[in-house]
Structure 1
Amino acid sequence: MNAENRIALLAAPGLLYLAALYALPLALLLTESLRDAEGALSLAAYVEFFADPFNRGVLWRTLRVAALTTLLALALAYPTALALSRARGWAQTAILVAMVLPLSVGVIVKAFAWSILFRANGAINGALMGLGVIDAPIRMLFTETALIIGAANVFLPFMVLPIYAVMRQLSPALPEAAATLGAGPFFRFFRVTLPLTLPGVIAGAAFTFSLSVSMYVIPSLIVGERQQTLSMLIARSFLFLRDEQLGATISAILLLIAIAVVLGSSWLAARVTGGRP
């Protein structure tokens, strides 16, 4: 037995584990979504889903919230990753701890914390009224804006860490060389730093978008049933409507979105890096 076959045998238990826990359930889910009333294969469930304006609205809301959450997280993460890559000693340690420590706190806890902050008598309304910005509490909870802010906060580390991982590999001599050639700060950033860190941006955006498009706990606690997402619709189909085919159909659509994000980000990263690993 050659070395490649021995390596394949070592990987076999892990592959069997993944097949039993992930591949087989996904196959059963896809099969359920493709069955009609007589048990034959059909796309009727998908046609019915997209024919319903409510379902199309939920799909569009899910994609919109995921995209805006990703953009907000990117706007917050890039300067954070830049500061983290340039910090040294205790400052870098403090920023890293601030990024990693929230990952140990459950999503439910963080979502509940944001729901408390967004209440009419919460800290945000209280601070705005104390500063004289508003005269009466404004409605924040159960809004799409609150959902985007809360989700961006929860998923921020997944955007910061990939960007930081790329930034820390950049040679500090590159911006300095550009500066000696007369390049200003904006030119150095947009023509040197940003292009070289795009692989990290793409990876972080793919992580954040994938997590945002499939989140369930955060929208359930912040916006409730007023503005449903695909994940909430899946839970409603299985738990309340007892419509397994509808739940399987929406799950398959969510899976296709995730696959599209992975393939799209891989293609874009290859284009940015010119095929380099």
Structure 2
Amino acid sequence: MTAVQGMTAAAPSRATFDRIALLAAPGLSFLALFYALPLALLLFQSLRMADGGFGIANYVAFFSEPFNIGVLMRTLRVALLTTLLALVIAYPTAIAMNRAKGVWLTVFLVAMVLPMSLGVIVKAFAWSILFRANGALNQILQAVGLTDAPLRMLFTETALVIGAANVFLPFMVLPIYAVLQQQKAYLADAAASLGAGPFFRFFHVALPLTLPGIVAGAAFVFSLSVSMYVIPSLIVGETQQNMPMLIARSFLYLRNEQLGSTISAILLIIAISVVLGSTWLAGRLGARE
């Protein structure tokens, strides 16, 4: 009797789940039509060779060029440095937000969320103005006597990393802040009562508990940094190209669809690898926690 009641109770729940799953049909259809299908066509185009056949010749040709390898390495290096700089700035910011109350918490949240409503072009162009030879940064350095002449800041990789880290900073701060909000406030006090010092409490209590947020924020920032186009175009220009700029040049100027599709597919593979890797790592960290 009990088994029969369990089966009858399970049937409605399964039917309810099927009806709820139908709610995702419009969104999935939209993604399949306007996102998955273009990506599939892009991958198809990257495998199409000049003679009409299909193969990996386009990928072999891309990785056979030292220039392309240099662009790929530069893109990954800038993305990694941007992620590290954003993490260094975001972690103490997230801690301050977690401890802030009332008006100060509102100020922090507005400072993080409001810049996300501005266009990337506006923020990147603002940094390009600051980094100019007659920009505010050089004027301040000369006014305080640190430099005698304007420093070359614009069109450098350092300027690109700083500008990109500023633009993508909220995507690192908010995941770490969300994880900190879920932590128990008494854990650090409990560790201190057992004789743990500040460094021990940070590296053995606070930091391990915030690793899921760090992984999520790093995945966001790295994925955005590796695929940015507008920020490098305004800050470093054509002197230091990255993969998205190479894609634009292939499609718009060289009219080489195979090359552009191949580079796009490589970026897609990198993005998928970052998402899958971060998901796996976050799952492992969550299970360990």
Quote the residue 1:210 is aligned against: 223
Aligned with 1:72 (options 62, 70, 85): 85
CA distance in 1: counterparts of 2:275 and 2:22, whole angstroms: 28
- Using structure 1 for the length normalisation, give the TM-score: 0.98
Q: Does 1:125 align with 2:158?
A: no
Q: 2:196 aligns with which of 183, 186, 209?
A: 183
Q: 1:7: which partner in 2?
A: 20
Residues 1:239 and 2:247 are matched in the alignment: no
Cα distance in 1 for partners of 2:63, 2:246 equals: 14
Distance in 2 (alpha carbons) for counterparts of 1:92 and 1:2: 44
User: 1-side partners of 2:112 and 2:23: how far apart?
Assistant: 35
Q: Could you give the per-residue CA deviations for residues 67-95 of structure 1, whole angstroms, max 9, x where no partner exists?
A: 00000000000000000001111111111
Q: 1:223 is matched with which residue?
A: 236
Partner of 1:136: 149
**Percent identical:** 72
| Paired residues for 1:156-167 under 5 Å | 156-167=169-180
The CA deviation string for residues 79-137 of structure 1, in whole angstroms up to 9 with x for no partner, is: 00000001111111111111111111110000000000000000000000001101000
Where in structure 2 are there 5+ consecutive unaligned residues? 1-13
| SS at structure 1 position matched to 2:169 | helix
Deviations 1:194-232, CA, capped at 9 Å, x for gaps: 000000000000000000000000000000000000000
1:210-258 deviation line (CA, Å, top 9, x unaligned): 0000000000000000000000000111111111110000000000000
Give the whole-Å Cα distance in 2 for the aligned partners of 1:229 and 1:144. Answer: 11
Distance 1:131 1:264 in 2: 46
Structure 2 counterpart of 1:173, from 181, 186, 210: 186
Paired residue secondary structure (1:41) = coil
SS at match of 1:272: helix
Deviation at 1:57, TM superposition (A): 0.3
Mark the runs of 5 or more structure 1 residues left unpaired by the alignment: none
SS of the aligned residue for 1:162 comes to helix
User: Aligned partners of 1:128, 1:11: CA distance in 2, in Å?
Assistant: 55
Quick check: 1:60 aligned with 2:73? yes
After TM superposition, what 4+ stretches of structure 1 lie above 4 angstroms from structure 2? Answer: none
What is the alpha-carbon distance in structure 1 between the residues aligned to residue 241 and residue 155 of structure 2?
A: 11
Q: Deviation string for 1:147-184 (max 9, x for gaps)?
A: 00000000000000000000011111000101111111
Alpha-carbon shift at residue 275 of structure 1 (Å): 6.2
Report the Cα offset of residue 10 of structure 1: 2.1
Q: Counterparts of 1:156 and 1:236 in 2: how far apart (Å)?
A: 28
Q: 2:278 aligns with which of 247, 265, 274?
A: 265
Question: d(CA) in 1 for partners of 2:244 and 2:285?
Answer: 32
2:35 aligned partner: 22
Stretch of structure 1 that moved more, 101-110 or 5-14: 5-14
**Offset at residue 13 of structure 1 (A):** 1.6
Q: Flag the structure with larger Rg.
A: 2
Q: Residue 33 in 1 paired to residue 18 in 2?
A: no
Q: Tell me the TM-score normalized by structure 2.
A: 0.94
2:117 match: 104
Instruction: Tell me which amino acid in the other structure corresponds to 2:183.
Output: L
**Cα RMSD (Å):** 1.1
Question: Which residue of structure 2 lines up, in the alignment, with residue 48 of structure 1?
Answer: 61
Partner Cα separation in structure 2 for residue 218 and residue 127 of structure 1 = 24
Residue 143 (structure 1) shift: 0.2
What SS does the corresponding residue of 1:168 show, helix, strand or coil? Answer: helix
Distance 2:19 2:117 in 1: 37
Aligned residues: 276
Residue identity in the other structure for 1:101: L
* Residue 256 of structure 1, aligned match among 265, 269, 284: 269
